[in-house]
């Protein structure tokens, strides 16, 4: 085990070699064919099924489950992909417990929904494992579209535009495409390099060119894209991170949870990835839970999630909260950080209890200390690098309809755009719908 000279509590190799593979194994193992048949048989195949309405991409869930039940998973996959080309990833990472499965009639009647997410994974994995792409491009239209950002929104948009016969160039600032799917989701939710495999499979449709290391900035401007392309879609996500606004937050040992997760996702050897002995994660969303659980799985002795509001107000779902607790993460509610204390490096996090005062959050004045040689900030991300010509509202790009921005010929979707939940599945829907609007605009011009 080696320690950093600046942060001696943060070290690699805290576990035995074999523990890493076990700890980071698939959270929801895939269904075998017989298991899928049994799970599909529980579906009532409802008319006006509430699960369809609850799905942001409006997948015909009863239809694809019936197709699985009748032994045609390939047809089921096509039903899924027609609405959600990233259906494989969404089957793994969607909070189905608060979306389709929460709306399931079986959940209402019995407290045990149909396993929609795992059935979706079974269908999509079947087709992807065969290496076949279910769709064929239309004839070339001659139109060229630029997509900024190769995350869920950008990829969904690019794929749908390519299907319509347009030539698409995707500009991605990072070295690899995939966005949140590649860099921002817990490793145990998307094992065996699935994000890259899904991206490679999606690109088989043709007509899409990926340029990595190219993000909006000095070397790539919106004005240039407008000049060179017939339409532009912005799906670059949120690159900035909110400040902790606590004394000592610039101290060694304090970092962003999104960077921690990204480093873990790109690591070839988890035993070489350093983690603190006592880790505190600030925040209450999915990123906070993903960071906290993975810190524990890497061998941290104590991991605490500190959330400023109540359990009921925590953005992460009940399932995610229970998962964190089951992995040994302590959840502390109604508390906020006020200072990071240490001799040049984090050693203690001082927090203050909070209370609701007529809808406003206020501190009680009562504080407590937590050992913390590593503090991870998961308190939300901010828009960064958006062109000044765009209207910004609520810290995001303002859009109307299917992602139309204030600038003619420019659309936006996903986390960088105003409206909708910051979920992979929502980003996919917004990218898809923007593509349809772009296509209709181009062919009618």
pLDDT band at residue 131 using 50, 70 and 90 as cut-offs = confident
In whole angstroms, what is the distance from residue 161 CA to residue 439 CA?
7
In whole angstroms, what is the distance from residue 178 CA to residue 176 CA?
7
Residue 270 corresponds to which tokens in the numbers above?
Answer: 């988890």
DSSP assignment string, 100-112: HHHH-HHHHHHS-
What three-state secondary structure class fits 72?
coil
**Domains, the chain, with CATH or none:** 33-129 (1.10.1060.10), 144-239+385-444 (3.50.50.60), 241-377 (3.50.50.60)
Q: What is the mean pLDDT of the chain?
A: 95
Q: Is residue 151 within 8 Å of residue 181, measured between CB atoms?
A: yes
| 240, pLDDT greater than 90 | no
User: What is the average pLDDT across 39-56?
Assistant: 96
| 250, pLDDT greater than 80 | yes
Residues 314-341 pLDDT 10s: 999 999 999 999 999 999 999 999 999 9
> Which pLDDT belongs to residue 243?
87
> Which pLDDT belongs to residue 384?
86
The most distant pair of C-alpha atoms in the chain lies apart, rounded to whole Å, by 67
| 429, pLDDT greater than 80 | yes
In whole angstroms, what is the distance from residue 157 CA to residue 172 CA?
14
What three-state secondary structure class fits 22?
helix
> Which pLDDT belongs to residue 2?
39
Q: Over pLDDT 70: what percentage of the chain? A: 98
CA angle (403 as vertex; 289, 83 as ends), nearest 5: 70
> Which pLDDT belongs to residue 4?
43
Residues 85-129 pLDDT 10s: 999 999 999 999 999 999 999 999 999 999 999 999 999 999 999
| 5, pLDDT greater than 70 | no
In whole angstroms, what is the distance from residue 176 CA to residue 265 CA?
12
User: What is the average pLDDT across 221-233?
Assistant: 97
In whole angstroms, what is the distance from residue 151 CA to residue 236 CA?
7
pLDDT band at residue 8 using 50, 70 and 90 as cut-offs = low
Of 146, 297, 165, the C-alpha closest to 214 is: 146
Running DSSP on this structure, what letter comes out for residue 272?
G
CA-based torsion, 16, 17, 18, 23: positive or negative? positive
| 66, pLDDT greater than 90 | yes
> Which pLDDT belongs to residue 1?
36
Q: Roughly what angle, to the nearest 10 degrees, separates helices 116-129 and 194-203?
A: 60
pLDDT band at residue 7 using 50, 70 and 90 as cut-offs = low
What three-state secondary structure class fits 45?
coil
pTM of the model: 0.94
| 24, pLDDT greater than 60 | yes
């Amino acid at each position: 085990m080696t320690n950093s000279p600046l942060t001696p509590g943060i070290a690699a190799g805290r576990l035995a070699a074999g523990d890493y593979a076990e700890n980071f194994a698939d959270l929801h193992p895939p269904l075998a064919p017989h298991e899928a048949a049994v799970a599909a048989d529980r579906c009532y195949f409802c008319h006006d099924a509430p699960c369809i309405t609850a799905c942001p991409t409006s997948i015909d869930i009863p239809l694809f489950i019936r197709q699985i039940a009748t032994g045609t998973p390939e047809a089921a996959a096509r039903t899924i992909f027609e609405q959600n080309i990233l259906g494989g990833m969404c089957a793994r990472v969607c909070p189905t417990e608060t979306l389709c499965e929460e709306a399931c009639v079986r959940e209402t009647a019995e407290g045990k929904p149909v396993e929609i997410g795992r059935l979706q994974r079974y269908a999509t994995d079947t087709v992807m494992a065969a290496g076949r792409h279910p769709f064929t491009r239309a004839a070339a239209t001659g139109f060229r579209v630029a997509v900024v950002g190769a995350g869920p929104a950008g990829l969904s948009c690019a794929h749908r535009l390519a299907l319509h016969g347009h030539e698409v160039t995707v500009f991605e600032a990072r070295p690899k495409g995939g966005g949140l799917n590649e860099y921002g989701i817990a490793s145990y939710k998307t094992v065996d390099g699935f994000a890259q495999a899904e991206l490679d499979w999606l690109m088989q449709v043709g007509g899409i060119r990926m340029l990595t290391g190219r993000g909006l900035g000095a070397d790539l401007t919106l004005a240039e894209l407008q000049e060179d392309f017939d339409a532009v879609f912005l799906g670059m996500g949120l690159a900035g991170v909110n400040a902790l606004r606590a004394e000592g937050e610039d101290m060694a040992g304090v970092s962003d949870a999104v960077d921690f997760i990204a480093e873990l996702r790109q690591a070839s050897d988890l035993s070489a990835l350093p983690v603190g002995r006592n880790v505190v994660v600030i925040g209450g969303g999915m990123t906070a839970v993903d960071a906290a659980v993975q810190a524990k799985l890497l061998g941290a002795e104590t991991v605490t999630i500190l959330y400023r509001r109540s359990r009921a107000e925590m953005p992460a779902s009940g399932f995610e909260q229970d998962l964190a607790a089951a992995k040994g993460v302590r959840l502390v509610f109604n508390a906020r950080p006020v200072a990071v204390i240490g001799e040049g490096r984090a050693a203690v996090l001082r927090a203050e209890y909070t209370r609701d005062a007529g809808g406003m959050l206020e501190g009680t004045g009562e504080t407590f200390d937590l050992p913390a040689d590593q503090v991870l900030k998961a308190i939300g991300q901010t828009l960064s690098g958006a062109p000044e010509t765009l209207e910004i509202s609520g810290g995001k790009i303002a859009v109307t309809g299917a992602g139309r921005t204030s600038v003619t010929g420019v659309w936006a979707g996903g986390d960088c755009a105003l409206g909708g939940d910051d979920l992979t599945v929502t980003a996919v829907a917004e990218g898809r719908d923007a593509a349809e609007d772009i296509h209709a605009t181009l062919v009618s011009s």
